Every structure is written in C-alpha cells, then in structure tokens.
Structure 1
C-alpha cells in the first residue's frame, strides 16, 4: 500500500509560531515553497499549530495594512490545522484534502512531528489523469 510518506515531499521546512512573517516570506523564497507549517516553539516535539501560505501573508497582513516584521506566524494562522499521518493511505490523503478543500497537506509522524508536505504536484505523480481531474474538481468546487 502506498502511504503518505511515500508521496510526500520530505525535507520540508516549518516556522516557529513566534517568528515574524517577513522571515516566513524569506524562508518560502529560499526553499521555493508557498506554505509553511507553524510549530509551537515551546513544545519540545515542535507540534504543528497551524499553516501559513504566501497568500495569507499578502492578503491578511500586507493588504490589511500590517507590517510583516511586526506580525508573527502564530498570529496569522487561524483555525485547526489539517494534517495526515505518514502511515495514511493515498485514499485517506485524497479524502482529507478533498473534504477540506486544501491543496497542501502537512504530514506528521507517530510523535506528531512535521515530516513532510503533500501538494497537488506530489499527487500528480501517483494518480491517474482521471483521479487527478476528480481531485481538482472536488478541491476547487
């Protein structure tokens, strides 16, 4: 069975909740990513408390008239983060992303530590064209 660990992009990066959004944007640029999981810096296991995207920074910080060097990642991330176990099946990954209409899904290990990220591009390598078309239709509807 193909698992989330098999399809995720490993070596992904995260940002502590107390780090500023200008630093988050710099990390996104350096690593060529559009999203970063946000971790609790006070938790020794660095558990995820949210996720921020480049769009979040632009729309909810810059366009709202805030200074990215004065707003933290923890202040920007909202709601309960969605994630998937590294042991989950591809069907479980698809269901989580489709049900919540999300395009990026953090992957955690058995200790709830962030270990990777699954994006649409990662799924494209493992799904048939029909499966991918159905996924895109459900996520963007």
Structure 2
C-alpha cells in the first residue's frame, strides 16, 4: 500500500498568521516552494491555513498592498485540509479531489511532516487514474 508518507515532500516549513507576505515570499524563493502552511501561534501552532505564491500576487500585490506590512492572516481563507502520514494514496486523491486542493499538508502526531502537491500525487497514481484526478481537480478541463 502506498501511503501519503511515501509520496510527500518531507520537511515542515511554515509561517505564522502574523508573518508578512514579504517574509513568506522570501521563504518560498529560498526553499523553492509554492505554498506554506500557516500556523496560529495563539492556538498551540495549529494550522489555520495555507498561503500560496498566487495568494501573495493576487490578494496583495495586484491590489496595490504592501507585502512588507500585509500579514498572512490578511489573505488566508477557508478551512485548511490535511492528511495523515499513514493514509492510503487513494485517500490522498479523494481529499484533494473533494476539496479542490492542489497541495496537501501531511500530519503525523499532530505535527506537519511534509507536503503533497498535485504533481507528486499524479506521478504516483496508477496511469488509468491520472486523467480522472486531473478532471476532478480542474473541472474546466473536462
């Protein structure tokens, strides 16, 4: 059985709600990442969202806001999704499809241990499931 742990990018890089978008962008550039989970330091560092490079551009830069003062909490929205490290690859697929997420944090013992992107999942799904996964994730592509 292939698990989330088998296909994830290991490592736990995250920012807090109060970190600036400039700091987030610098970390993304430094680590070659497209997204960072956001933790709420007032709630025992629980994940409260995910910020993407696109969020920074669309919700800050394009609106003429200053990334040096705009906080992660200003742009995150919705309920963060995650998957247990021991979850089966099909559970990963269903979580990403059902919630239309392209990156999924992997959690073990209440701590983030890695991240799965749509690319990692696609590379590890059986060939006959890849097109169906893409069609669910990108409904306009149908």
Is the pair's TM-score, using the shorter chain for normalization, greater than 0.5?
yes
What is the TM-score when the length of structure 1 is the normalising length?
A: 0.92
**What stretches of structure 2 of length at least 5 have no aligned partner?**
none
Per the alignment, residue 37 of structure 2 pairs with: 37
Match of residue 64 from structure 2: 65
For structure 1, the 5+ residue unaligned runs are none
For 2:125, the equivalent position in structure 1 comes to 127
CA distance in 2, matches of 1:117, 1:10: 7
Number of residue-to-residue matches in the alignment? 139
- Alignment map for 1:13-32 (pairs within 5 Å): 13-32=13-32
SS in 1 for 2:49: strand
Provide the rounded CA distance (Å) in 2 between the counterparts of 1:24 and 1:101. 23
Deviation at 1:129, TM superposition (A): 2.4
Query: 20-29 or 118-127, which moves further after superposition?
Result: 118-127
Runs of 4+ in 1 over 4 A off after TM superposition: none
What's the RMSD between the two structures over aligned residues?
1.3
Query: Which SS does the other structure have where 2:131 is aligned?
Result: helix
- The two structures have a TM-score, normalised by structure 2, of 0.91
